Structure 1
Amino acid sequence: MRNLLATLGWPALAGILAALLILDRWVLPNGVGNAPGQAAASYHQAVRMAAPSVVNIYTAKVVTERPNPLLRELQRRRLVPPQQPRRRWSQSLGSGVIMTQEGHILTSNHVIAGAELIQVLLHDGRTTAANLVGYDQATDLAVLQIDLSDLRPIVRGDANNLRVGDVVLAIGNPLGVGQSVTQGIVSALGRYFYEPNVFEDFIQTDAIIHPGNSGGALVDSSGSLLGINSVTYSNSGQANTSTSIGIGLAIPVNLATFVMDDLINYGEVIRGWLGVSVEPAGGQGPDSRRPALRVDSVSAGSPAEKAGITVGDYITHIDDEPVADGRITMMKIAMLKPGDRITVTVERGQQSLDLQAIISALNLSPDY
């Protein structure tokens, strides 16, 4: 009996061991079944690729201090002699991303706004003054340029391929302590918070963004740039650049590079304009099941008017792509150039019309 069990048991035991080996090597995901203390996945290579392209930015400007109200009143009564307003240097810090071999750096406009001196510290320890190429208040982006050799422009990713849940890393100069990295995930896409005519398309992340991170890089797990870290949105309902408590927001790399290219080439951002004001159809229109934007107004002389779009039309497609969100539609039109032709599909009564529009330049009015 014992010999029979031994004869039957060894083949079965060998089969179980072989199955476990196959599961561990070819079937189970990486890291499953790791022995206690075994190293987890590392983002070292991603940081090694991206970090040399992220710089620290230090700015200084002269500010005039307001006199104490009591002192001002005493001066008004001539109880104390008048004094000249006190002026002092105010310093701030932020981050930036090297985008080109020619030394162009993307950063947040609020990092350098009003600065009289801009100094850049590179990852390799070199420092240099930076010149302001241009800025865009609508997206809170600015472009600087430095004159140094052997720069490491960052590898650009594509934010259009981002998914909620993807791992991201925020690299910057938090609190002035030096370059640091925080890790998180993409929490949401297409976020907006402020005025309707401001061009917002934020990536929301739970990677911690401290003061000083503004203008730094948001990269994927391979080190490619996905966005420019912008602000933290707090529960006060305001953009917050002085605390890390809140929702981290980054400007997608696609939008940031569009702004940068225009600032370099033209000194300003040239945005496309159609000239309509729209609202979500909300289940109305000839086909309430189809997403659409109801046209509430058409600007006189606008590309929309010239194309034949009228108040009450329901826009269903632009260049055969369905529309549903007015802000996303605004962003897509704004990233066109004057002279670009688009096909606007509208429903009017029981008709579906394909209207041809030639985009013109936006003057930052609140319609599209």
Structure 2
Amino acid sequence: MRPNRLLRILLISFIAIPLPPHGAVAEEGWSLRGLVQGLFGQGDGAANDATRPSAPGSDGQPLAGDSLATAPVPAEAVGPERRLPSAEAQIQLSFAPLVKETAPAVVNVYAARAVPARQSPFANDPFFGQFFGQRFDSRPRMESSLGSGVIVDRMGLVVTNNHVVADADEVKIAFADGREFQTTVLLKDDKVDLAVLKIEGEGPFPTLAMGNSDGLEIGDLVLAIGNPFGIGQTVTNGIVSALARTHIGVNDFGFFIQTDAAINPGNSGGALIDMQGQLVGVNTAIFSRSGGSNGIGFAIPSNMVASFVRAAREGDRFEQPFLGAGFAPVTPDIAEALGLDRPTGALVHEVGGDTPAAEAGLEVGDVILGVGDVAIDSPDALGYRLATTGIGGVARLQILRGNERLAVDLPLQPAPETPPRDERVLGGETPFAGATVLNLSPRVASELDLPMNKTGVVVTAVARGSYAARFGLRPRDILLALNGQPIESTEALEAMLAGRFLGWRFELERDGRRMSQLVR
């Protein structure tokens, strides 16, 4: 390819696209996805040719005075005609009406917690007390963090990220107009990295309506509103860069909207809104080496946010539906063996007895390809779809069994807590002294991200400096047997530890590996 030909292609790749007025955006659903489709050859070429304006040189002849145009240029290689705006409305294209409508419902979140001050080695020395008095007083100091939040209820429910308010003793919110209110944390969950606050003040308050994040497409315009670096409310714009991003290390569901709208520290918990002024995501994380925005931001989809808010209204826990089955990704080899054209879906590799999955008729070897009308390409996508459907609903699973495609209705139920958790702190002169243990039930297994088919006792905490810590016990260790006897419950374990033994041989499971240890 000749250099001048390459230069022309590079130059016409950067096209100035005027944005329509706010009213047209809302009425016509305009977005950049049409541009994206056009650039990648997914649009209607005939239609584009029919509506393309003519421009000087579009007959294929060199432009006058163009020193680079040494050869005829095809008509499709010439960009649109450049011309001055003919009306003031064309100059004043702006997001301002949309911002005025939505920004009042986005607040700044300030969280504070008391942490112990470092103890001076001279604090209790009478000699130094003569000279310094109470200067060694070890009063706790306050640590603060900042973020953003979105009001989703006129009576004052605010959604933010869990990492903004985690371990906080006090949480306040502030409006852009300067009003401040104390809040109460109704529900928070580090697995989904969401929290719901209740404003301690009289409403009504401005709100943002929940949008349908499943309706987003790559190329849709979005606005990000938040409090970056604590400087005050800030609005940035961009597009939806990708959907269903996974494994970015933020929460257990791994299902995010990616956007190039500038998101910085302090934006966490802020709003990602669409051109209809609806909340389609809660800004959560960025990919950055410098700490600032690199145009790669991530937001939790609004459908997950809506499920979390519903749980906060109904109780004090957000639960993922319990299936009683294990799932694995479909590898290329498995896809080929099943006759699939690509690796997609969630492969059932385990079905527990007397579980919702077993009652629905799921079998080992089934591949779940969809939930309702939505395709499933991974176990993460399956978990997200079931979580957004919510406890009490019914999910219609589209499955592949051999060469047959079936539909299975799966009732979504909470994980049972059988046996009761019965938390105990072990004592005495044993290798387990200082360990906190629970009976292992499906609910506890779900909370600790453990296999659903395990029974026995699980370690949830180990006191520093205890016998249990000295002998290497860790949280999430599943205690299986002691001196050849299965450990069935915390009560049974305490009774076994009360006996006298010359040694202690215990078996445990850690991260899927079975281990045995003898302590004398």
- TM-score normalised by length of structure 1: 0.78
1:173 and 2:222 aligned: no
Residue equivalent to 1:16 = none
The question of whether the paired residues in 2 share the 8 Å contact of 1:281 and 1:292 is answered with no
Taking the TM superposition and a 5 Å limit, the aligned residue runs for 1:231-270 are 231-235=285-289, 243-245=292-294, 247-270=296-319
Residue equivalent to 2:326 = 276
Mapped to 1, the partners of 2:250 and 2:360 lie a distance apart of 24
The question of whether the paired residues in 2 share the 8 Å contact of 1:316 and 1:346 is answered with yes
What is the CA-CA distance between 1:331 and the residue it aligns to? 1.0
Give secondary structure in 2 for the equivalent of 1:221.
coil
For 1:49, the aligned partner's letter is E
Residue equivalent to 1:108 = 161
Residue equivalent to 1:239 = none
1:43 and 2:95 aligned: yes
Residue equivalent to 1:207 = 261
1:219 and 2:269 aligned: no
Bigger Rg, which one: 2
The question of whether the paired residues in 2 share the 8 Å contact of 1:136 and 1:259 is answered with no
Moved more, 285-294 or 118-127: 285-294
Q: Return structure 1 stretches of 4+ with deviation > 6 angstroms.
A: 78-81
Residue equivalent to 2:284 = 230
Match of 1:157 among 211, 218, 232: 211
Question: In 2 relative to 1, CA 48–312 (structure 1 residues): closer, same or farther, beyond 3 Å?
Answer: same
Question: In 2 relative to 1, CA 169–331 (structure 1 residues): closer, same or farther, beyond 3 Å?
Answer: same
- Structure with more strand by fraction: 1
Residue equivalent to 1:187 = 241
Give secondary structure in 1 for the equivalent of 2:389.
coil
1:56 and 2:128 aligned: no
What is the CA-CA distance between 1:343 and the residue it aligns to? 4.3
Residue equivalent to 1:293 = 346
The question of whether the paired residues in 1 share the 8 Å contact of 2:303 and 2:388 is answered with no
Deviation track 1:234-291 (CA, whole Å, cap 9, x = no partner) reads 359xxxxx64346211111111111011012111113212222222153244433374
Residue equivalent to 1:330 = 383
Mapped to 2, the partners of 1:357 and 1:41 lie a distance apart of 49
Question: In 2 relative to 1, CA 129–320 (structure 1 residues): closer, same or farther, beyond 3 Å?
Answer: closer
Give secondary structure in 2 for the equivalent of 1:89.
strand
Mapped to 2, the partners of 1:196 and 1:288 lie a distance apart of 31
Taking the TM superposition and a 5 Å limit, the aligned residue runs for 1:59-98 are 59-66=111-118, 85-98=138-151
Structure 2: state its 5+ residue gaps.
1-52, 55-80, 130-135, 416-442, 453-520
Give secondary structure in 2 for the equivalent of 1:360.
coil
What is the CA-CA distance between 1:85 and the residue it aligns to? 4.2
Moved more, 283-292 or 294-303: 283-292
Structure 1: state its 5+ residue gaps.
1-22, 25-30, 237-241
What is the CA-CA distance between 1:301 and the residue it aligns to? 3.2
Q: How many residues align?
A: 331
Deviation track 1:64-114 (CA, whole Å, cap 9, x = no partner) reads 2445xxx76x999x9989x66452111221111111111101111111111
What is the CA-CA distance between 1:46 and the residue it aligns to? 1.0
Mapped to 1, the partners of 2:348 and 2:366 lie a distance apart of 5
Residue equivalent to 1:8 = none
The question of whether the paired residues in 1 share the 8 Å contact of 2:190 and 2:251 is answered with no
Taking the TM superposition and a 5 Å limit, the aligned residue runs for 1:308-347 are 308-319=361-372, 322-347=375-400
Identity of aligned pairs, percent?
A: 34
The question of whether the paired residues in 1 share the 8 Å contact of 2:281 and 2:299 is answered with yes
Moved more, 209-218 or 339-348: 339-348
Question: In 2 relative to 1, CA 352–153 (structure 1 residues): closer, same or farther, beyond 3 Å?
Answer: closer
Question: In 2 relative to 1, CA 302–114 (structure 1 residues): closer, same or farther, beyond 3 Å?
Answer: same
Mapped to 2, the partners of 1:92 and 1:253 lie a distance apart of 24
What is the CA-CA distance between 1:126 and the residue it aligns to? 1.7
Mapped to 2, the partners of 1:115 and 1:292 lie a distance apart of 40
Which structure is richer in relative contact order (CA contacts within 8 A, separation 6 or more)? 1
For 1:124, the aligned partner's letter is D
Mapped to 2, the partners of 1:298 and 1:330 lie a distance apart of 16
- TM-score normalised by length of structure 2: 0.57
What is the CA-CA distance between 1:62 and the residue it aligns to? 0.8
Q: CA RMSD in A?
A: 3.3
For 2:198, the aligned partner's letter is Q
Mapped to 1, the partners of 2:373 and 2:179 lie a distance apart of 50
